[in-house]
Amino acid sequence: MESFLHFWRVIGYYLGLDDRFNLASRSSLSETRALLLEVGLQIVAPCMFNLSPVSIHMSKVVCKGYGIDYHQVIYSHCYGKTIISSIIEIKN
């Protein structure tokens, strides 16, 4: 996983991205994982409720990238769970 993060640090560098804005440039794998989970919870999850065809496709792609089943997250409220608790439960 460290090699994967290094790869994205290099891609960010070549794209001209300042290290302070590069999500892959954190000091440890656990810090990077925590930051990405926070981004998912604060930005991605709330945006999943904007139901245009483009946003649904983007939400599915982001969920796939995180290894999360989009439909499980969206329909988890049927079982009395919140979106945030479902994502945390899936990732742990």
Condensed to tens digits (0 to 9), the pLDDT of residues 21-77 reads 887 877 788 888 888 888 877 877 777 666 788 878 888 888 888 888 888 777 776
Burial of 69 (0-12, 13-18, 19+ CB in 10 A): middle
Within a domain: 31: no
- Residue 56 structural domain: 48-92
In the three-class reduction of DSSP (H, G, I as helix; E, B as strand; rest coil), residue 44 is classed as helix
Within a domain: 88: yes
Residue 79: per-residue pLDDT: 63
The answer to whether 25 and 9 are in contact (CB under 8 A) is yes
| pTM flag (> 0.85) | no
Q: Tokens in use for 36?
A: 């990405």
Number of structural domains, the chain?
1
Within a domain: 62: yes
Within a domain: 7: no
91 pLDDT higher than 70: no
Which DSSP letter does residue 67 get? T
Within a domain: 57: yes
